[in-house]
Amino acid sequence: MHEKTIVNPWPRVLPPEPATSQKLALGPIVPMLRAAEVASLEGRHAAVGAFNINFYSQAEGILEGLRRAEAPGILQASRGANKFQGGPEKIAKMAAEAIKDSKHPLPVCLHLDHGDDATAIECLGAGFGSVMIDVSKLDYDANISAVREIVNLAHPRGISVEAELGELSGVEEDIKAEKSTYADPRKVAGFFEKSGADALAIAYGTSHGPSKGAGVGKLAIRIVDESYREMGANGLNFEHFLVSHGSSTVPQKLVDEINSFGGQIKSAQGIPMEKIEAAIKAGIRKVNIDTDLRLAITATFRRYFAENPGIERGSPNLAGIKKVLDEKPATIDPRDCLGHIDKELMRSSPRGSDIEEIMGLVKARVASHVEYLCRAFGCAGLAEKTEGHSLEEMAASYSRQ
Ligand SMILES: [Zn+2]
C-alpha cells in the first residue's frame, strides 16, 4: 500500500542552535507527525497520540507514559480545560512546569483542541505549538476562509493549525451534534491547499464521548484511505496530516471497575483497537484520546475511596471529590470532582498536599494507559526520529513555502 520512494522533501534548516529547553519543551506538531509518516512509509504504520489535559497530575502521567514508550506526544487542552484552568497562559504554564519537574526529555507539543477563533488567537501568544480551529459547522468555503485567517497568524510563529471537515456526532464540551456527516475525500486536498492547514480532522464515523455505539457500525475507514491517496496524488503527505477525533477505545475493564465502585456508566462503547489500527494504516497520523483518560481517572478516584474508607475525614479537598462521586454516579469528567480545589494546586505538583496520594495514583494509571496506547499506535520509539522540533525551525520552514 502506498509504495513509493522515501524522500523527505522538507527543507533542512540550520538555525542558530536553540536552548535545550526551548528545543524540547512545547514545540510544534508537524515534525512529530512527519516522523510518523516516514515510519509508515517504511512499513511501520504509526500515528502520534494526542491526550487531553485538565490538571497537573494528568499531564504528568501522560508525560511518564510517553517517556516509557519513548514516543513524541501531544498534550491538548479543550476550551473546557481552558475555562477550568482560567485560560491558555495558565494551561501552558502548567504543561511547561510538568515537563520541567519531570525533566521530560522528549518532543512534546501543546495543542488547542476544538478552539473557536478567539481562543485560537489567544493561544498563539501563550506558548501553544499548535491550535485547532473547529468551524466545521460552516460550509466548505467559509470553513476554509476562517481557517486561513488563523493560519496567516500562526505560521509566522512556527505554530501549526488543525481544522475539521465533516461533523462528528457526540458531545464535545459544550458542542453537541446529533448526527455525523462524513468528510468528502475529494475535498480534502483542496481544503489543505486553500486553507493552509497542517492537519485535518476528518469525520469518518468516530464520535465524541463514551457512547460511540451507533457510530462504530458506520465507521468508514475508506474515507481515510481515499483522503490519504488524494493527498498523496497532490504531493501533500509530508507536510499535511489526517487526524482522528473521538478515538477512545473505552476499555470495558475500566467501565466495570467504575461501576463496581458505585459508578453508573451505561451503554459505554469505544472504537475497537483494530479499527484504530486500520485507520492508522489507511493514513491517520494523529489520534485524539480524551474519554479513556477520563475513565482511568474516575476509576482511580472511586477505587481510592472504596479501599480507604473514611480517608476524606479532615480533608476538604478529598471530601469534595468524594461528595461529587456520591452525588453524580454517572460523571466521568474529573473536572466535576476537582472543581472545588484551589486552581493553583491543580496546576502544580501536589507534593505535600492532602491530594498527593490520590494524584500519585492518577499519574500512575494515566501513565500506563498512555504507554499502552503509544505502543498500539506504533509511535513508541519515534521520539528520536522527530527532527527539527522547535518553533523557530518551523517558522523558517513556513517562510520559505
Ligand atoms: Zn474532537
Question: In angstroms, what is the span from residue 384 Cα to ligand 1's centroid?
Answer: 28
Type of residue numbered 134 = D
pLDDT at 176: 52
Task: Map out the domains of the chain with their CATH numbers.
Answer: 20-249+269-290+367-390 (3.20.20.70)
Output the nine-digit C-alpha cell for 146: 476562517
CA-based torsion, 389, 392, 398, 401: positive or negative: negative
For residue 68, the tally of other CB atoms under 10 A from its CB is: 16
Outline where 187-290 has alpha helix (H): 188-195, 213-216, 221-233, 252-260, 273-282
Question: In angstroms, what is the span from residue 185 Cα to ligand 1's centroid?
Answer: 19
pTM equals 0.91
How many angstroms separate the CA atoms of 391 and 16, rounded?
12
List the catalytic residue out of 101, 113, 139, 225: 113
262 dihedral zone (left: phi>0; alpha: psi -120 to 50; beta): left
pLDDT at 401: 78
- pLDDT per residue, tens digit, the chain (401 aa), is 444 444 433 333 333 333 333 444 588 999 999 999 999 999 999 999 999 999 999 999 999 999 999 999 999 999 999 999 999 999 999 999 999 999 999 999 999 999 998 999 999 989 899 999 999 889 999 999 999 999 999 999 999 999 999 877 665 555 555 556 889 999 999 999 999 999 999 999 888 888 876 666 678 999 999 999 999 999 999 999 999 999 999 999 999 999 999 999 998 899 999 999 999 999 999 999 999 999 999 999 999 999 999 999 999 999 999 999 999 999 999 999 999 999 999 999 999 999 999 999 999 999 999 999 999 999 999 999 999 889 999 999 999 87
pLDDT at 169: 65
How many angstroms separate the CA atoms of 332 and 296, rounded?
9
Question: In angstroms, what is the span from residue 218 Cα to ligand 1's centroid?
Answer: 18
How many angstroms separate the CA atoms of 280 and 224, rounded?
9
pLDDT at 356: 98
- Backbone φ, ψ for residue 177 (5° rounding): -120, 125
What residues have CB less than 8 Å from 4, skipping those under 6 apart? 41, 232
Question: In angstroms, what is the span from residue 172 Cα to ligand 1's centroid?
Answer: 6
Question: In angstroms, what is the span from residue 61 Cα to ligand 1's centroid?
Answer: 21
Residue 204 contacts residue 219 (beta carbons within 8 Å): yes
pLDDT at 180: 63
Gyration radius of the chain over CA positions: 20
Question: In angstroms, what is the span from residue 325 Cα to ligand 1's centroid?
Answer: 26
Residue 288 contacts residue 269 (beta carbons within 8 Å): no
Residue 297 contacts residue 365 (beta carbons within 8 Å): yes
Query: Is residue 134 among the annotated active site residues?
Result: no
Question: In angstroms, what is the span from residue 288 Cα to ligand 1's centroid?
Answer: 7
How many angstroms separate the CA atoms of 355 and 196, rounded?
44
Q: Is 225 helix (H, G, I), strand (E, B) or coil?
A: helix
Output the nine-digit C-alpha cell for 187: 475535498
Question: In angstroms, what is the span from residue 341 Cα to ligand 1's centroid?
Answer: 27
For residue 83, the tally of other CB atoms under 10 A from its CB is: 14
pLDDT at 205: 87
CA neighbours closer than 13 Å in the CB half-sphere of residue 33:
29
Q: Which residue do the cell numbers 509518516 mark?
A: 37
DSSP code, position 157: G
